[in-house]
Amino acid sequence: MNTNYRAAMYLRLSKEDGRHGAESGSISLQRLLLSQYAEEHFPGCVLREYIDR
């Protein structure tokens, strides 16, 4: 059985990060962790990213 998964990642900006123009460390870390989880549990899934800015 070949199943194609689509998933969304919701990345949330930390209060400590403020609202600076550069991407925060917390956003980068969240992206990394969620991407790794998705690839481990749902190989080849298509990810869409949403960021709370």
CB atoms within 10 A of CB 22: 7
Residue 40 has what pLDDT?
95
- Any domain includes 15: yes
pLDDT of residue 25: 85
Residue 1 lies inside a defined structural domain of this protein: no
Q: Note if the pTM is more than 0.85.
A: no
Q: Which of 6, 26, 39 is nearest to 52 (CA)?
A: 26
The CA distances from residue 45 to 5, 11, 42, 50, in Å, are 5, 18, 6, 16
Whether 41 is covered by a domain: the verdict is yes
* pLDDT score recorded for residue 52: 81
Q: What is the pLDDT of residue 14?
A: 76
Quote the number of domains for the chain: 1
Show the domain range for 33.
Answer: 6-52
